[in-house]
Amino acid sequence: MDSYSTQYLFVVVFLGVAVAFPLAPLILSRLLAPHKPTPIKIDTYECGLTAKGDPWVQFRVGYYIYALVYVIFAAETVFLYPWAVAFHGLSLGAFVVMMVFVLLLVEGLVYAWAKGALEWK
Protein backbone atom coordinates (compact mmCIF):
# COMPACT_ATOMS: atom_id res chain seq x y z
CA MET A 1 0.00 0.00 0.00
CA ASP A 2 1.29 3.42 -0.84
CA SER A 3 1.30 6.28 1.66
CA TYR A 4 -1.54 8.08 -0.14
CA SER A 5 -3.94 5.15 0.40
CA THR A 6 -2.72 4.77 3.98
CA GLN A 7 -3.75 8.35 4.72
CA TYR A 8 -7.26 7.70 3.42
CA LEU A 9 -7.41 4.45 5.38
CA PHE A 10 -6.50 6.39 8.53
CA VAL A 11 -9.35 8.85 7.89
CA VAL A 12 -11.84 6.03 7.27
CA VAL A 13 -10.79 4.23 10.45
CA PHE A 14 -10.99 7.48 12.40
CA LEU A 15 -14.52 8.15 11.11
CA GLY A 16 -15.54 4.57 11.92
CA VAL A 17 -14.31 4.94 15.50
CA ALA A 18 -15.95 8.37 15.77
CA VAL A 19 -19.31 6.87 14.77
CA ALA A 20 -18.95 3.65 16.79
CA PHE A 21 -17.81 5.31 20.01
CA PRO A 22 -21.09 7.13 20.81
CA LEU A 23 -23.33 4.49 19.24
CA ALA A 24 -21.92 1.51 21.17
CA PRO A 25 -23.18 2.62 24.62
CA LEU A 26 -26.58 3.49 23.18
CA ILE A 27 -26.95 0.10 21.54
CA LEU A 28 -25.65 -1.74 24.61
CA SER A 29 -28.02 0.08 26.93
CA ARG A 30 -30.94 -0.66 24.61
CA LEU A 31 -30.04 -4.38 24.58
CA LEU A 32 -29.05 -4.88 28.22
CA ALA A 33 -31.16 -2.42 30.24
CA PRO A 34 -34.51 -3.59 31.58
CA HIS A 35 -37.48 -1.88 29.94
CA LYS A 36 -40.59 -1.87 32.13
CA PRO A 37 -42.56 1.33 31.48
CA THR A 38 -45.31 2.24 33.89
CA PRO A 39 -47.58 5.30 33.84
CA ILE A 40 -45.57 6.85 36.67
CA LYS A 41 -42.23 6.29 34.91
CA ILE A 42 -43.33 7.80 31.60
CA ASP A 43 -45.17 10.76 33.12
CA THR A 44 -43.87 14.25 32.34
CA TYR A 45 -42.30 16.09 35.28
CA GLU A 46 -40.36 19.26 36.03
CA CYS A 47 -37.67 19.03 38.69
CA GLY A 48 -39.35 16.03 40.26
CA LEU A 49 -42.80 17.67 40.38
CA THR A 50 -45.80 17.08 38.17
CA ALA A 51 -45.89 19.56 35.28
CA LYS A 52 -48.48 22.33 35.47
CA GLY A 53 -49.70 24.41 32.57
CA ASP A 54 -49.00 24.28 28.86
CA PRO A 55 -45.47 23.10 27.98
CA TRP A 56 -45.46 25.19 24.79
CA VAL A 57 -44.53 28.57 26.22
CA GLN A 58 -43.69 31.24 23.67
CA PHE A 59 -40.65 33.37 24.54
CA ARG A 60 -40.14 36.92 23.40
CA VAL A 61 -37.87 37.42 20.39
CA GLY A 62 -35.75 39.84 22.42
CA TYR A 63 -34.28 36.94 24.40
CA TYR A 64 -33.00 35.32 21.21
CA ILE A 65 -31.52 38.55 19.91
CA TYR A 66 -29.61 39.09 23.15
CA ALA A 67 -28.44 35.49 23.02
CA LEU A 68 -27.18 35.89 19.45
CA VAL A 69 -25.34 39.10 20.28
CA TYR A 70 -23.74 37.33 23.26
CA VAL A 71 -22.66 34.39 21.10
CA ILE A 72 -21.09 36.74 18.57
CA PHE A 73 -19.03 38.52 21.21
CA ALA A 74 -18.13 35.27 22.97
CA ALA A 75 -16.78 34.01 19.64
CA GLU A 76 -14.84 37.25 19.33
CA THR A 77 -13.09 36.65 22.64
CA VAL A 78 -12.20 33.11 21.59
CA PHE A 79 -10.29 34.54 18.63
CA LEU A 80 -9.06 37.70 20.33
CA TYR A 81 -7.51 36.13 23.45
CA PRO A 82 -4.88 33.93 21.72
CA TRP A 83 -4.04 36.82 19.41
CA ALA A 84 -3.48 39.11 22.41
CA VAL A 85 -1.30 36.53 24.15
CA ALA A 86 0.94 36.16 21.08
CA PHE A 87 0.79 39.85 20.14
CA HIS A 88 4.52 40.62 20.41
CA GLY A 89 5.51 37.71 18.15
CA LEU A 90 3.07 38.52 15.35
CA SER A 91 3.65 40.43 12.16
CA LEU A 92 1.99 43.61 10.97
CA GLY A 93 -0.24 41.50 8.70
CA ALA A 94 -1.64 39.62 11.70
CA PHE A 95 -2.40 42.93 13.39
CA VAL A 96 -4.21 44.25 10.30
CA VAL A 97 -6.24 41.04 9.92
CA MET A 98 -7.35 41.15 13.56
CA MET A 99 -8.28 44.82 13.30
CA VAL A 100 -10.44 44.01 10.25
CA PHE A 101 -12.08 41.21 12.28
CA VAL A 102 -12.75 43.56 15.22
CA LEU A 103 -13.99 46.26 12.85
CA LEU A 104 -16.53 43.84 11.34
CA LEU A 105 -17.79 42.90 14.79
CA VAL A 106 -18.02 46.54 15.87
CA GLU A 107 -19.90 47.26 12.65
CA GLY A 108 -22.38 44.51 13.56
CA LEU A 109 -22.81 45.95 17.05
CA VAL A 110 -23.39 49.46 15.69
CA TYR A 111 -25.92 48.08 13.20
CA ALA A 112 -27.80 46.18 15.94
CA TRP A 113 -27.74 49.28 18.13
CA ALA A 114 -28.99 51.52 15.31
CA LYS A 115 -31.83 49.11 14.52
CA GLY A 116 -32.89 49.15 18.19
CA ALA A 117 -32.20 45.45 18.67
CA LEU A 118 -30.47 46.12 22.00
CA GLU A 119 -33.33 48.09 23.54
CA TRP A 120 -35.49 46.11 25.94
CA LYS A 121 -39.19 46.63 25.21
Give yes or no for a contact between 79 and 94, defined as CB atoms under 8 angstroms apart: no
The number of helices, as runs of H, and strands, as runs of E, in the chain is 3, 2
Residues 20-39: tens digit of each pLDDT: 999 999 999 999 988 888 88
Q: How many CB atoms lie within 10 A of CB 79?
A: 13
The predicted pLDDT at position 13 comes to 94
Residues 37-90: tens digit of each pLDDT: 888 777 776 676 766 777 677 777 778 888 888 888 888 888 888 888 988 888
Please state the pTM of the whole predicted model.
0.48
